[in-house]
Structure 1
Amino acid sequence: NHFIEKLLPVYRRATEEELKLCHGGWKYGSFFTTCLTESRLFLPYATKKFLENGGEVLRQHLNSFFDVPQNFDALLNCTGMGAKELCGDQHLVPIRGQVLKVRAPWVKTAFYGDYDTYVLPGFETVTLGGCRQFDSYNTKWCKYDSMAIRERCFDLLPSLRKAEIVRECVGLRP
């Protein structure tokens, strides 16, 4: 992927040995180095630093971007699905995602497979994913999605079978 090659410090074709780390007889894969940020941990830290350096946070309900006061250097739009109303975009639909967070400290490398299958090591847990369901407003955990995610991730990395499930998360994104 020539686009990604320009963005990442290290991006190359995976070696035969690296391909053998995953089950499934993979013929091609990519190896790359990137940065992973866990928002629930990073955002409180970033907000604290921003405020310590003279930044100001104003939270208010807006009916339109025209309601934004003009005396700001920057505006961060974190409306998510609220952008449908704020921006008047009636074509915006949610994409439902579901993941499992497991305790698997031996997993140090991220893996991406077919069908939205991924294993992402984090600070305290490893994320197993996922699903991508367009135009679904369902924010409830689904045992069938969970079973499918586990099955695909276990097929990709069998050692995950012994991982303790810490929690399951569902979210909607635009």
Structure 2
Amino acid sequence: MSGLANVLMIVAVVAVVVVRQFRARAIDTDRRWWLLPVILAVVALREPGILDAHHRAGSAVLLAVEVLIGLATGAGWAWTTGIWTAPDGVVWSKSTKASVVVWLVGIALRVGVFAVGAAFGVHQDSSALMLGLAVTLLVRAGVLAWRARSVGSASRPAPAYGDDMRSAWKERV
């Protein structure tokens, strides 16, 4: 994929994910919460320009820092997300204002990494940013699924209408 296509994919994924996370959503720990981050990581890792050919060590260090920032941002985002259990037993989540701060700090750190790379003449491809985003999403989804399991039984389906009502007496025919 070209750099422009990577940037457009990153912007689209971030927009969709951020908008969805600031609405209350039921957490389903049975679904494949890891699928989108894994797809992003595979797309990022198959790009040949993820490491600068002229500065392999420097670009590898910057990539490692990008991944560490992704880990920290994902964990911070997951731990600042509000989680609660509804009366029907379904676990819900919604990002908070602290989650916005985590995102802003993560973005600032990533800009700093790219600035350091540019100052040393290390070319950084957009696939490094995509890999960092994939790590962020994977860690956040994993921590939220773990928190949801510890808070309540999110894997249990919601009760059907009338499940909490008294049982009726059998009628004799």
Q: State the TM-score, normalizing by the size of structure 1.
A: 0.23
Higher helix proportion, which one? 2
Q: State the TM-score, normalizing by the size of structure 2.
A: 0.23
In our comparison, the structure showing a higher alpha carbon Rg is 2
